[in-house]
Structure 1
């Protein structure tokens, strides 16, 4: 099969790194500069992605389009793509609930086969090897497997049903991200009573516990702008399954207290806990 041209929507920290992996087996990887921030431009440049000026040009040139954006924007972006009558493979790789993934498939198929995707792990840079879980039509998922063959982004197909990959992603995220929020609350409570260092010593005896990694609270705060909406998606998926969603919605509300420290790499544990207590 000829090497495809791949379009990435939009090159955030995960999207740009995934696009760089795709470049290994692609003819070109392109992105649309319209409305994007200087940070997006810098990331795209770092990974040698090819800029185009309009979404129309990106869609006209692309055989495969990968959507990696904030969850709230996923359906609007898919509507835009459908409006341009895209005919390639559309990889819906956002952290959205299975019902939304299926709605997006309904928007684009049969003209554009939709592959449901979910990335579990950190961006594929610096030796990290996350897994892109896939579900959808066999011919389409095979194209995506071939696109990332031999790269730092591993792939695993879960079946032909759109929604399976999204369900796995959110099931994992609901535990992993909520656990980090609980660490912040536990350390915050302990600090209020002057026993936070003792709590950390207790937790250090259980190295399999997130509580033994309180330094990660600051990273959680910096990522809260992404994690909160993702947990809302997971809560919707729980509710759709008839399961209680209140715990994840509460975690999302907690994360919202850190909305003003987006991607702040200088944030300390003390700063994060102060903001959690006094937003």
Structure 2
């Protein structure tokens, strides 16, 4: 599979840019124009993708198919692929949970070889270099690595178990995206009280990410007995100015699982995480 033919389903902003990178090491990159928007057509033209009339033609001609679509559509799309008995490598690269990826693998195998994928980062344009994490059969992941060699899409293989790449993607997304929503809530309530600039000044004194400091989870668990009520107070403050409070109330409910760890100086990270999983 030195110069494979690739099929991309469907070229959104991420899918089109990833497909454009794949074109570097592929004979051709195909997409199915039928039923797609004018915006999709423009993206496909921008990245030099080749239009085909039907999904069946795309599958018949493709050695590797990459699925990058809205998460809700991932399984329906896989069912369409299964009906055509696609027999190449299917990269399930959508932001879906590991159980859904495994269901898709059951749908498509044994006709297709399923590789789990998760893209972390922005679309590979303007100097951006996202990483496509992969997990699945080694004889298939090696072809995906070769497909993106020397391009703006970096690859990293996490192992042979389908679901690992999606787990990493969603674990990161759960923090990255929720943290942005929390910023909106924090700045929103501060603005209502005329202290939003002061909030930003306070926050600017710390620029690193809590996600890179998992040991801080231990401190959070030991302090949860007072963090919970504080989060409830913050939720009340949001409600008072018409902002949604559900996220902070959910956070308060989460830290309540650490109630028995009050000021426990012997707590380990493993203990803290176990208490979350098995309250």
Query: TM-score, normalising length from structure 1?
Result: 0.75
Distance change >3 Å, CA 52–CA 133, structure 1 → 2: same
Gaps of 5+ in 1: 211-245, 252-279
User: What pairs with 1:74-223 in structure 2 (closer than 5 Å)?
Assistant: 74-208=74-208
Contact 1:178 1:248 in 2 (8 A): no
Gaps of 5+ in 2: 211-245, 252-279
**Alpha-carbon distance, 1:209 to partner:** 5.7
1:19 and 2:31 correspond: no
Contact 1:174 1:248 in 2 (8 A): no
**Alpha-carbon distance, 1:205 to partner:** 1.7
**Alpha-carbon distance, 1:198 to partner:** 1.2
1:214 is matched with which residue? Answer: none
What secondary structure does 1:2 align onto?
coil
Distance 2:141 2:204 in 1: 42
Contact 1:135 1:141 in 2 (8 A): yes
Q: Paired residues, what number?
A: 216
Distance change >3 Å, CA 119–CA 250, structure 1 → 2: farther
1:67 is matched with which residue? Answer: 67
Distance change >3 Å, CA 26–CA 173, structure 1 → 2: same
What secondary structure does 2:65 align onto?
strand
1:8-44 deviation digits (Å, cap 9, x = unpaired): 0000010001001100000000100011111111111
Distance 1:79 1:16 in 2: 22
Distance change >3 Å, CA 113–CA 209, structure 1 → 2: closer
Distance change >3 Å, CA 203–CA 146, structure 1 → 2: same
Distance 2:8 2:75 in 1: 16
Runs of 4+ in 1 over 4 A off after TM superposition: 246-251
Query: TM-score, normalising length from structure 2?
Result: 0.75
Distance change >3 Å, CA 152–CA 73, structure 1 → 2: same
1:186-241 deviation digits (Å, cap 9, x = unpaired): 0000011111111111112222269xxxxxxxxxxxxxxxxxxxxxxxxxxxxxxx
Distance 1:171 1:43 in 2: 29
**Alpha-carbon distance, 1:249 to partner:** 11
**Alpha-carbon distance, 1:125 to partner:** 1.0
2:263 is matched with which residue? Answer: none
Answer with 1 or 2: which has the greater Rg: 2
What secondary structure does 1:66 align onto?
strand
1:45 and 2:40 correspond: no
